[in-house]
Structure 1
Amino acid sequence: MQTLLNDQISAIDKLRQFKVGALFMEAGTGKTRIAVELVNETPSVDLVVWIGPYQTIHRPDGVPAEIAKWGGFLCHHVEFCGIESLQSSDRIYLELRKKISEAARTFIIVDESLKIKNADAKRTQRLIDLGDLSTYRLILNGTPLSRNLLDLWSQMQFLSPKILNISLAEFKNTFCEYTRITKRFGGHKQYTKEFITGYENIDHLYSLIRHYVYECDLQLQVKQYYSTLNYTLDEESLKEYNYLKEKYLDNETLLWKNNNIFIEMTQKMQHSYAITEDKFNVVDQLFKEIEPEKTIIFCKYVNSSESCAKYWPKATVLSYQKEAFGLNMQHLSNTIYFDKNWDYALRVQSGRRTFRTGQEYDCRYWDLTGNVGLENLIDQNINKKIGMVEYFKGKTKEELRAEL
């Protein structure tokens, strides 16, 4: 078994003195190994509960296999549960709750705690409830702390409400800056909404949580290289793209959708060219230079995912939403982004499937970029770490038409 790395030793030394803790360590830094060590040195644990993205648990090369690689848990009673199952199934939630209630000393671990977001969401409420019943609580998060400050309240509430000791409303008023946007649609019709544009009092926030959080960046000897592969939409895809753009930028449609139009609009516009012919041509050319067997292809849509799996059966085709988190793919070194994604955290996490502790080769990434405005907007906003809805809310209809 490999010797613990310095950051892993430091994390264990810091968190072993508390019953709750958080590892905000970049993907690939070895959080799973730390969790195994912390659980195994905690006395009298009679139940270990591991909750994480379903795909990371139920794949043959998923989290249980990685835990076994590090010697496994000494506790004989271990439960793995997909966070999606916990949300959707009352039976699974109640059965797990019963097991935790009956155990004397439960150690609960939430992997990829970035999934704990909306405080009112069912999954968040259920996780907090299970945490309240557990003696020891640990969260693992591969996204840097500064990238998701708004989500901290729910995550700290899971660990212990005593850490922040304030309500969600107080948290927002203390640490968040708001901007009000009003959009008018002719006549007397208008729509107003507040959204977060920044954060304040960050030093105070860090002082409240610093004892329970360990942070570190990923430092490897191998390098990362990024390239762009340009493709051209076929005539039919471009026609459908332009039709959808005009349809959704219609005044009546904007008003009817109450600004939720942006998610639906971009999804359908991007889907219109998801499997345009030239995307396959440029990847075919790339596979004359690299090996499909050593390549991940990330897709956003079912049709692009199924088509890629059919065209290149030797490549590993993954979904952003289901498989960008948690999986250890260090035996691969190439990544193709067949479809773009607005979500900065998903983009960072997807790149860390290959660039992680144990990787022996340089990691290479290729972005497929089409000849339409939406593709450039996604790239620009990923680089600026701006979300889709946040970007579109500050734009007029005329500006959107020109940029798209």
Structure 2
Amino acid sequence: MPHTPISSPPRPPTAQLAPPAPSAGPGPPGQQALTGPQSEALERFARLKVGAAFLEQGMGKSRVAVELANSRAHRLDAVLWVAPYSVLATVEEEVTTWRCRVPVRFLGYQTLSQSDLTYLDVLAWARRQRLMIVADESTFIKNAHSKRHRRLTEIRTSADYALVLTGTPLTRDLWDLKRQLDWLSPKILATDDRAFRYRYFTMHQRIQRDGSERVWFETHTPNVAHLKSLMEPYIYEARLDVGVPENAREYEHDVSAPTRTVYERERDDFLDAWAAWGQDHALFRMLGNLKRIAATDPDKCRSVAEQVAGRHTIVFCQYRKEQQQIAHHLDGHLLVNGSTPAAEREQIYARFRTEGLPLLLTYGTGSFGLNLQHVNSCHFASMPFNYELVEQARSRIRRMGQTRPLTYTTHVSDLGIDVLVAQNLRRKDWLARLVRHEIDPTGTL
């Protein structure tokens, strides 16, 4: 059903490959049995050359991919496993744990897009292999115009089998699904972008104050069932039942007078630009600036620090300034962000297992790959626009094997931007659409 892969006779694995684990039947002694969802996913993909495992974080997606590769070991020379760079070490550890019997080459999405030499090397190597390719956290390739998507698509043409893994397949709209399925095989949906837009979206038009016309598209719900019917044979989706109660809390914090003044000035500048020419770049600039102003308010950060002080919990922040301000008000804490060296991060994570202190993380460094189920609460000091980051962050503690009730606490300011972000995350939509097409900015911001 997918395009015919390019294959060749077996060749010895290159030095860049992780060697296959020794064959030991279904796995090493004492290896835990497959869960129900894992077994069902393997059964779904057994006769397919492509598949999408939409399993929530903590459900063992990596093991599904390993077992699938093992079942095809006699037809494969290698596995190419592509994942966000920040989780590659975790993925390698899991592949070793589950004893993949096929040599595995690991590649970061960031390396794929940034290094021409690596891309050309992997592409040439892939053309010499009977290959299975795994796109882990596949929403990283949802932008069809990105270099990583185009390059991974080119490599995909040489693979006999392809699998996508993610717990959040849809983070904005139906285009996320189309990009992932088209990468697996364009024959699944068998439709170009223009036809897809007019089949599964409804076009809206509005005349602006200056007389110009604005056009946008929103999901056409009646046709979604048809789209689902096309995808269903190639998808296995399951939600994680951790078996413990889960609680969500929200605290609203007052902001300081200087922050409110800066916020209102930024908002008014945006509204003037909106009324004058309605350009998108004014909208995007305003959204980012208002979010940053609200998140980094000193009064709000001090209030968040009071909520987490002395607790063994995780605190997710969007901005380093926000993270530093919260840390300033804590007598004891652990902190990781993009400037923390890799070796030091591992030491901090090890300390966090035994020290009853809050761990302050930025979404970029903490929302993917970490298994922190030894704690049972997390705080969102501020919320990002991206639904996927929130779900990934929750999944650091929401994993199989968790035995205690879970609590997720959201901290918001009393400024309008946080109302819009909350609506955005509930809808899994793009915040700009809420402002531009559905909400009167003067009534919410």
Which amino acid in the other structure matches residue 393 of structure 2?
S
Q: How does 1:196-207 map to 2 (within 5 A)?
A: 196-207=218-229
Which residue, out of 43, 46, 49, partners 1:16? 46
Higher mean alpha-carbon deviation, 166-175 vs 239-248, is at 166-175
1:303 paired with 2:318, answer: no
| C-alpha deviation, 1:145, in angstroms | 6.0
Q: Deviations over 1:220-250 (max 9, x none)?
A: 2112111122222122222211111112211
Q: How does 1:47-86 map to 2 (within 5 A)?
A: 47-58=78-89, 62-71=90-99, 73-76=100-103, 78-86=104-112
| C-alpha deviation, 1:197, in angstroms | 3.8
Which amino acid in the other structure matches residue 355 of structure 1?
R
| C-alpha deviation, 1:22, in angstroms | 0.8
User: What is the aligned partner in structure 1 of residue 263 from structure 2?
Assistant: 241
User: What is the aligned partner in structure 2 of residue 267 from structure 1?
Assistant: 288
TM-score (norm 1): 0.88
The structure 1 segments of at least 4 consecutive aligned residues displaced by more than 6 Å after TM superposition are none
Q: Deviations over 1:30-64 (max 9, x none)?
A: 21111111112212322211111221125xxx222
Which amino acid in the other structure matches residue 204 of structure 1?
H
RMSD: 2.4
1:284 paired with 2:286, answer: no
Gaps of 5+ in 1: none
1:95 paired with 2:121, answer: yes
Q: Deviations over 1:351-377 (max 9, x none)?
A: 122112121222111111112111222
Residues 203, 228 of structure 1: alpha-carbon distance in 2 compared, 3 angstrom cutoff: closer
Which amino acid in the other structure matches residue 404 of structure 2?
Y
Question: 2:301, 2:325 within 8 Å by CA — same for their partners in 1?
Answer: no
Partner SS for 1:50: strand
Higher mean alpha-carbon deviation, 158-167 vs 32-41, is at 158-167
| C-alpha deviation, 1:321, in angstroms | 4.3
Q: How far, CA to CA, are the matches of 2:443 and 2:170 in structure 1? A: 36
Question: 1:274, 1:303 within 8 Å by CA — same for their partners in 2?
Answer: no
Q: How far, CA to CA, are the matches of 1:146 and 1:113 in structure 2? A: 11
User: What is the aligned partner in structure 1 of residue 347 from structure 2?
Assistant: none
Higher mean alpha-carbon deviation, 325-334 vs 7-16, is at 325-334
Partner SS for 2:204: strand
Q: Deviations over 1:55-110 (max 9, x none)?
A: 1125xxx2222333333x2223x22222122223222211211221122x111100
Q: Percent identity?
A: 30
In the comparison of the two structures, how many residue pairs are matched? 389
| C-alpha deviation, 1:183, in angstroms | 2.1
User: What is the aligned partner in structure 1 of residue 180 from structure 2?
Assistant: 155
Q: How far, CA to CA, are the matches of 2:172 and 2:420 in structure 1? A: 20
User: What is the aligned partner in structure 1 of residue 136 from structure 2?
Assistant: 111
Residues 203, 283 of structure 1: alpha-carbon distance in 2 compared, 3 angstrom cutoff: closer
| C-alpha deviation, 1:4, in angstroms | 0.9
Q: How far, CA to CA, are the matches of 1:39 and 1:171 in structure 2? A: 32
1:46 paired with 2:77, answer: yes
| C-alpha deviation, 1:157, in angstroms | 1.8
Partner SS for 1:102: coil
Partner SS for 1:4: coil
Partner SS for 1:180: strand
Higher mean alpha-carbon deviation, 246-255 vs 327-336, is at 246-255
Residues 289, 322 of structure 1: alpha-carbon distance in 2 compared, 3 angstrom cutoff: closer
User: What is the aligned partner in structure 1 of residue 444 from structure 2?
Assistant: 403
Which amino acid in the other structure matches residue 271 of structure 1?
R
Q: How far, CA to CA, are the matches of 2:383 and 2:78 in structure 1? A: 41
Q: How far, CA to CA, are the matches of 1:254 and 1:51 in structure 2? A: 46
Higher mean alpha-carbon deviation, 364-373 vs 277-286, is at 277-286
Question: 1:26, 1:144 within 8 Å by CA — same for their partners in 2?
Answer: no
